[in-house]
Each structure stands twice: as C-alpha cells, then as structure tokens.
C-alpha cells in the first residue's frame, strides 16, 4: 500500500512469458494505456489506468515477462531491478501474478520468489476456460490457503472473472492483504545465505531478507546501487566465498521440492489423452523437415499480404495524398514557401503515412500468429540455426519481413528479449532487399545487361535477394564475434496450446505499434524529408535563378513547354546544394565507375531507395516523361519498363567519351544499392529501437563502407563492356 497522500497507487502485472499477461492487461485497461520505455533502456513499458467498480483509479504497470528473479535477458533484468528497489518509480503496492493454470507448476517458481520479497500478491489463474475444456479442476481455497494469498480464476481471452479480479484487487489495495506468510519465508535460507543476508541487512539497512539475498546475487549490474553500496556487497560476497550461480541452482531446486507437492495436491487433472489436438498439430508443424517448409510457406503468405496489400492500402495512401498535394500545388502561386510546403513538408508527412499500412499489416498478421500459438513453434524450429549467426528463432521473422520493408521488420524484433540477439537482428535486417529496391533493380539490370535474355535478367534479379540474405547472415556472424554481453543466450520457451486469437488484444497491439512508429520514427522521417528538400531546392545566392535563365535563353523557339521545364529542373538540381554535393563526392565515387549525376542520385536516395528513379528522370531532363513511364510500367513486363530513362543512361558518357554505364558500372551500382544504408526511415526506426544514435550511425558507416568496398571490387574486376 502507498501511504503517501496524493501518491497514485501502483499495481503491477507479472508472469512468465506466454502466460497471457498482455491479454489480461488489455482487458483491464482497454484504450486507457500508453507504451514507452523503462528509463535508460529500450525495453517496452506499458502503463494504463485501472478503474475499479467503486470509481477510484490506480496505475497498472505491465512488467516484462520473466521466469524468475535470476534474469537471463535485459527484459528480465528490468523486473529484478524494479522489485529489489522499493524506491523505484515503478515499485508496486500490489502485484497481480498471472499464471497459466494449464501449466501451473511451471509458474510457481517466480510466485514463491515474489512471496519472499514481502510484496502483497494476488494470484490470477489465467486460461481457466481452457483448463475446464481439458478437464483440469483447481481447489482454489486449498491453493489460497497453502500460499496465503488471494486466488482468482480468470480468462484473459474471454474476460471471464475480470470483474471479480478487480473487486478482489480493490479489497487488497484498500484493506491490505488479508493473508501473508508473516516472518516465515517460503524458501528457508541456508547457513551461508543467512550469513550473507545478515551482513547485507546490517550494512545497507535492508529490511527484507530475500531482497538482501538478491542484492548479493545481482550487485554487479543492478543500476540503482551507489558505488559504495556495490563495493560493500562485493566485499561481503568475496569474504563469505558466496558462489552466486551454485546458490541459485540450489535455491531453485529447493523451491521446486516445496511447491510441487502443493500444486499436485490442489490440481485434479483428467487422465491425459495420449494424443491431444495440439499434439497432432505439432507433429506436423514442428516436424524436422516439414516444419521449416510450412513456416516458409506461412511467411511467404505474410510477405505477399504485406507486399500486395501495400499496393491496395499503401498505394491508396500514396495516391490519395499525392493527389491532394498536387491539387494544393496547382492552387498556390509559385514561391519558395509553396515549394517547401508541397515538395518538402507534405511529402515528408506522406513519407510517414505511407508506412502505416505496411506496419499495421505486418503486426496484424504476426500478432494473430502469436495469439494462435504458432510463432512459439517457429522460434523453436529455427532457434538452433539462427544462433550460429548470433540471433535466435524470432530473428527469422524480421529477416523475412525485411523483404517487404525493413521498417516494420525492425520494429518486430522487439519480441527478442536478449539484447545482443535483438541488436544483431536490427543491424542486419536492412541488408535484405526490400520492395523499395525493386524499381531500382528494374532500371539497373537492363542497363548492365542490355542484350541479355529475359531469363538472365530474372536470374540476376532473384540473385539480388540471395545476395542480400548472404550479406545479412555474414554481417550477423561478424557482430556475434564483436559484440559482448553478460546476458546468457539459450532458449527457454513454453509451447502454448493452440487457441483462437483474442481480437481485442490483436487490435490493441496493432494500434500501439502504429502509434509508436508515428510518434517515434515519424518525426525523424519528417525532419529529414524537409532537409533533403532544402538541399535539392536551394543553392548559393542566385545560382538556381541563373541556371534557369541560362536554359531559357539557350532554348530554341520550337522547344515544348514540358521539354523546357524538364531542362530547367535538371539544371536547377545541378546548381543546388544537392548538385554541389554530388559533384564534390565525384572523386570519391569515380573509382566505382560513377559520375556526379549518380552522386546526386545516391544522395537523394537517402529519402527512399526508389527515389533513385525520380532523380535520374530529373537529371536527364525527363521529369515530365517519368510520370508517364510510371503509368505505362503496369502494362509492361518488368525489364521493359522505364525505357526512355534506360536509353538516356545507356548513352551517357564521361567527359573523355567513355561510356558511363558499362557492365561493370551496372553491377557495381546494383551491389551498392543492395548493401548501402540509403533509407532515412530505417535509420529513424533503428534510432528509436536502440534508444541511441550510436547504433544507426555505426550501421550507416558499416553498411556504406561494405557497399563501397564490394562495389569497387566488382567494378575493378569486371569487364568495362
């Protein structure tokens, strides 16, 4: 209980992963919730307003899922840090412990640790509807009496007994916990542990014995400890020859010996059917050969839904917003402000909104698969393979999702609890060829191979995806060797029963992810879009006007308005700061076979890779042709598209008369676009997911440096034909 007047009461939800905790949180809070991060880390923190039947409110905190207070991941460390520090902002007045009643014994380890911490606990037996279907009966009164805590059977999926849970919780908050172990701990300390605890309590003034023991175990990393406290704990541990790992194992075994008989005495279970529906499904979905094939089939469907769903939804967003921007541009007089508004600010906003359908689709489908219980199987199937590259089974979802768009794929990596594995997944996912690269490939492959057959070009196109995947796995292996973490990496996973998704939970999850993207990465994308407009539409005093006047003065009287406007746009782009940057980097990119025009395209592509095409249309005075060719592209085979642009590029030459776009240049440019980090949206999401600019900057330098090196080798070794 909170004794301070005016201080809001805090209730925390806690439970093992896959206990249904998030579903219960959504049942209790609905839309009265917000998502953020715990201070100093990128671990999700969900907080909501809990309204009780009597009308008073409390703050409900959804702590990350954990198996015990001996953490093995950054998420679990958050829980241990909060619950061992009564001064922590998130330290709860009451804990609601969510346990899956169909696997109750596995959930008791953490519960008994919480009891020994002395925090009031209410036990919610989730999935009681599934238990009834399985013939499992629980003696609630006996269980409550054995652990001396209130026990309420609930179903987060159907909402059964949620109101009863609220009534019981309100009673505990108002009147104090009716039960309690008192001075008797569930786990009796061993002699050495008693000595350590006595010293910790005396020197640090700790009241609770188990809290003192946890401080001794975790003194090396707990963030709230002062330097002198850490040194004191280190001295105690060393002097008492206290071996933490051995003590943790002994404690865990002792707890199991004590709570296992209690659980078995209170659970009445019908004779287990030798072949349940879940067993029969798992025999197929987790098969050594068939399981991976089925998974790739499922992911292919997810990929197709995102890819083609974007054409319907994201394309609709892009077309609608584009029409509105064009209409506004036509209604405004030409000025720097109207240009900034219609070519910088509004396209920046469009660049944010256009990702919303992809993010919503990805998380809708992934959340459904999570709710059904399939994703846990996918993690199990691929975990061993992905660990060879420093990732885990959940990473495969991000890598495959990256084929549609890296932005939602990287956001999906939040389901990976281990910090190192999550970071590696985030860092390498952009190597996967996303849908934005497709228009670039369709221009560059025919430019590099103008006389090759359709099948050869298609083979190169498909090879770009394998090339990106190979680069991602190779980079992951390098990061695995470089990055260091104290978090052990192993698979601790409970395969849940297959069940229908809880749709309220699905929609709330999708809503939270979309909202987080718009609030976090969206503003960065918006600001960078405006910065790129400034580079492309401004220049030294009078330079753009001088360029325009020169083009108009040299134009023949018979020149059409569209052709004249195209030449003006090309010359103004060349005279802008972006053009100046493109020319200034030409000496650096010339070893790759590129000229200043390609330099401008590389810079502008940072807005999005597909902007390469639009920039090249402008550079080659084909801006008016670009829109027409984009419309015609839908009725043409892939390698016939963008014909005028490809012909202009193929005929372009350096000042000495040598062709720019040789076979070597084309392959070099394909490799550069496959490997380089040229997407501000991705960098913005990486910044949000890692909580620091250090990692996106490192990612940008690493990917760009690798792209430069491999592109240079390709240009150097391949024939210039």
Question: What are the tokens at 39?
Answer: 């201070």
Residue 223 near residue 216 (C-beta atoms within 8 A)? no
**How does the average pLDDT of the chain come out, rounded?**
83
Q: What is the pLDDT of residue 5?
A: 46
Integer CA distances (angstroms), 497 to 36, 123, 159, 306, 378, in order: 30, 21, 18, 27, 14
Q: First vs last Cα of the chain: how many Å apart? A: 79
Q: What is the pLDDT of residue 17?
A: 83
Q: Checking DSSP bridges between strand 151-153 and strand 121-126, what pairing results, if any?
A: parallel
* pLDDT > 90 in the chain, percent: 30
Q: What is the pLDDT of residue 216?
A: 95
pLDDT, one tens digit per residue, over 147-156 is 989 999 998 8
User: In angstroms, rounded to a whole number, what is the distance separating the alpha carbons of residues 593 and 567?
Assistant: 25
Residue 383 near residue 393 (C-beta atoms within 8 A)? yes
Residue 424 near residue 391 (C-beta atoms within 8 A)? yes
What ranges do the domains of the chain cover? 10-175, 587-717
Going by C-alpha positions, the residue among 125, 100, 173, 180 that lies closest to residue 148 is: 180
DSSP single-letter state for residue 172: H
Q: What is the pLDDT of residue 312?
A: 61
Question: What are the tokens at 13?
Answer: 């939800």
CA dihedral angle for residue 88, residue 89, residue 90, residue 92, rounded to 10 degrees: 80
42 pLDDT band (50/70/90 cuts)?
A: low
713 pLDDT band (50/70/90 cuts)?
A: very high
Going by C-alpha positions, the residue among 701, 684, 698, 693 that lies closest to residue 351 is: 684
User: In angstroms, rounded to a whole number, what is the distance separating the alpha carbons of residues 406 and 432?
Assistant: 8
User: In angstroms, rounded to a whole number, what is the distance separating the alpha carbons of residues 407 and 359?
Assistant: 8
pLDDT, one tens digit per residue, over 166-216 is 998 988 887 765 445 455 789 999 999 999 999 999 999 999 999 999 999
* pLDDT > 70 in the chain, percent: 87
Mean pLDDT of 570-591: 87
User: In angstroms, rounded to a whole number, what is the distance separating the alpha carbons of residues 714 and 667?
Assistant: 7
Q: What is the pLDDT of residue 242?
A: 93
542: left (phi over 0), alpha (psi -120 to 50) or beta: left
Task: Identify the weakest region by mean pLDDT among 39-53, 67-81, 174-188, 578-592.
Answer: 174-188
Does residue 485 or residue 392 have the better pLDDT? Answer: 392
Q: Which helix (H) or strand (E) holds 126?
A: strand 121-126
360 pLDDT band (50/70/90 cuts)?
A: confident
Mean pLDDT of 391-405: 80
- Tokens 């071996």 locate to 243
Q: What is the pLDDT of residue 262?
A: 92
- Tokens 């000496």 locate to 587
pLDDT, one tens digit per residue, over 507-536 is 887 887 777 667 655 666 677 777 777 887
Question: What are the tokens at 457?
Answer: 């070009």
Asked whether the predicted pLDDT for residue 36 surpasses 80, the reply is no
274 pLDDT band (50/70/90 cuts)?
A: very low
CA dihedral angle for residue 263, residue 266, residue 270, residue 274, rounded to 10 degrees: 0
Which of the given ranges, 87-91, 407-411, 579-583, has the highest pLDDT on average? 87-91
Neighbours of 277 (CB within 10 A): 10
Question: What are the tokens at 285?
Answer: 């979905």
Residue 525 near residue 348 (C-beta atoms within 8 A)? yes
694 pLDDT band (50/70/90 cuts)?
A: very high
Side-chain-side CA neighbours of residue 486 (13 Å) = 7
Residue 448 near residue 661 (C-beta atoms within 8 A)? yes
Query: What is the DSSP secondary-structure string of 465-524?
Result: HHHHHHHHHHHHHHHHHH---SS--------PPP----HHHHHHHHHHHHHHHHHTHHHH
Q: What is the pLDDT of residue 252?
A: 93
User: In angstroms, rounded to a whole number, what is the distance separating the alpha carbons of residues 329 and 160?
Assistant: 55
Asked whether the predicted pLDDT for residue 364 surpasses 80, the reply is yes
pLDDT, one tens digit per residue, over 320-358 is 877 888 788 888 887 777 877 877 777 767 766 766 777
Does residue 591 or residue 156 have the better pLDDT? Answer: 591
pLDDT, one tens digit per residue, over 624-674 is 666 676 666 656 666 777 787 888 888 888 878 888 889 999 999 999 999
The angle, 0 to 180 degrees and rounded to 10, between the axes of the packed helices 290-309 and 374-387 is: 110
Task: Identify the weakest region by mean pLDDT among 293-297, 674-678, 703-707.
Answer: 293-297
Question: What are the tokens at 239?
Answer: 């002097």
User: In angstroms, rounded to a whole number, what is the distance separating the alpha carbons of residues 685 and 307?
Assistant: 20
User: In angstroms, rounded to a whole number, what is the distance separating the alpha carbons of residues 506 and 365?
Assistant: 9
Backbone angles phi, psi at 135, to 5 degrees: 80, 20
Side-chain-side CA neighbours of residue 492 (13 Å) = 16
User: In angstroms, rounded to a whole number, what is the distance separating the alpha carbons of residues 439 and 435?
Assistant: 8
Q: Which residues lie below 8 Å from residue 343, measured CB to CB, with a gap of 6+?
A: 329, 533, 537
Secondary structure in 3-state letters for 298-325: HHHHHHHHHHHHHHHHHHHHHHHHHHHH
Topology (CATH level 3) of domain 10-175: Rossmann fold (3.40.50)
**Rounded to an integer, what is the distance from CA 93 to the centroid of its chain?**
31
Question: What are the tokens at 403?
Answer: 């084929």
């Amino acid at each position: 209980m909170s004794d301070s007047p005016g201080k809001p009461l805090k209730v925390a939800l806690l439970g093992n992963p896959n206990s249904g905790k998030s579903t219960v949180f959504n049942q209790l809070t609905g839309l009265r919730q917000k998502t953020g991060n715990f201070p100093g880390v990128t671990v999700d923190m969900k907080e909501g307003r809990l309204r009780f039947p009597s009308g008073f409110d409390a703050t409900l905190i959804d702590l990350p899922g954990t198996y015990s207070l001996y953490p093995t991941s950054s998420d679990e460390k958050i829980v241990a840090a909060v619950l061992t520090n009564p001064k922590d902002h998130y330290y709860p007045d009451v804990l609601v412990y969510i346990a899956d009643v169909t696997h109750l014994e596995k959930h008791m380890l953490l519960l008994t640790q919480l009891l020994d911490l002395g925090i009031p606990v209410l036990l919610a037996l989730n999935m009681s509807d599934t238990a009834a279907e399985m013939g499992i009966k629980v003696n609630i009164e006996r269980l409550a009496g054995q652990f001396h805590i209130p026990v309420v059977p609930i179903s987060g999926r159907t909402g059964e007994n949620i109101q009863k849970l609220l009534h019981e919780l309100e009673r505990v908050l108002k009147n104090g916990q009716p039960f309690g172990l008192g001075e008797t701990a569930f786990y009796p300390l061993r002699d050495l542990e008693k000595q350590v605890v006595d010293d910790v309590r005396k020197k640090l003034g700790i009241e609770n014995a188990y809290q003192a023991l946890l401080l001794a175990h975790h003194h090396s990393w707990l963030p709230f400890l002062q330097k002198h406290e850490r040194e004191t704990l280190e001295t105690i541990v060393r002097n008492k020859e206290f071996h933490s790992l051995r003590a943790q194992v002994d404690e865990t075994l002792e707890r199991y010996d004590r709570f296992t008989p209690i659980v078995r005495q209170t659970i009445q279970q019908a004779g287990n059917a030798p072949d349940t529906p879940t067993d029969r499904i798992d025999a197929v979905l987790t098969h050594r050969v068939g399981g991976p094939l089925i998974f790739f089939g499922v992911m292919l469907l997810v990929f197709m839904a995102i890819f083609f769903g974007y054409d319907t939804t994201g394309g609709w967003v892009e077309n609608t917003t584009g029409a509105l921007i064009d209409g506004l541009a036509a209604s405004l007089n030409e000025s720097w402000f109207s240009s900034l508004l219609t070519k910088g600010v509004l396209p920046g906003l469009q660049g944010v909104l256009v990702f919303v359908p992809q993010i919503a689709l990805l998380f809708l489908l992934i959340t459904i698969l999570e709710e059904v219980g399939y994703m846990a199987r996918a993690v199990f199937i691929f975990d061993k393979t992905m660990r060879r590259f420093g990732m885990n089974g959940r990473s495969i979802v991000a890598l495959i999702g990256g084929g549609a768009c890296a932005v939602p794929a990287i956001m999906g990596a939040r389901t990976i609890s281990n910090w190192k594995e999550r970071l590696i997944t985030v860092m390498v996912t952009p190597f996967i060829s996303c849908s934005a690269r497709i228009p670039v490939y369709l221009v560059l492959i025919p430019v590099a191979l103008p006389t090759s057959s359709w099948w050869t070009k298609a083979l190169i196109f498909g090879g770009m995806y394998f090339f990106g995947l190979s680069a991602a796995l190779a980079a992951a292996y390098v990061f695995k060797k470089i990055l260091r973490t104290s978090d052990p990496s192993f698979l601790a996973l409970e395969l849940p029963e297959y069940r229908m998704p809880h749709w309220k939970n699905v929609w709330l999850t999708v809503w939270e992810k979309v909202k987080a993207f718009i609030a976090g990465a969206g503003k960065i994308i918006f600001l960078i879009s405006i910065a790129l407009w400034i580079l492309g539409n401004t220049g030294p005093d009078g330079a753009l006007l001088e360029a325009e006047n020169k083009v108009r003065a040299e134009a023949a009287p018979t020149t059409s308005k569209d052709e004249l406007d195209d030449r003006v746009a090309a010359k103004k782009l060349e005279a802008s700061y972006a053009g100046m940057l493109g020319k200034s980097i030409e000496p650096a990119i010339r070893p790759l076979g590129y000229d200043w025009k390609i330099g401008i395209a590389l810079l502008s592509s940072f807005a999005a890779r597909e902007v390469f095409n639009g920039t090249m249309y402008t550079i080659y005075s084909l801006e008016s042709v670009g829109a027409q060719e984009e419309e015609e592209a839908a009725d043409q085979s892939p390698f016939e598209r963008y014909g005028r642009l490809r012909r202009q590029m193929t005929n372009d030459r350096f000042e000495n008369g040598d062709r720019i776009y040789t076979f070597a240049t084309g392959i070099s440019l394909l490799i550069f676009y496959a490997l380089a980090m040229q997407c501000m949206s991705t960098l913005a999401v990486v910044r949000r997911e890692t909580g620091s600019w250090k990692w996106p900057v490192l990612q940008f330098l690493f990917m760009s440096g690798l792209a430069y090196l491999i592109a240079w080798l390709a240009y150097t070794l391949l024939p210039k034909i």
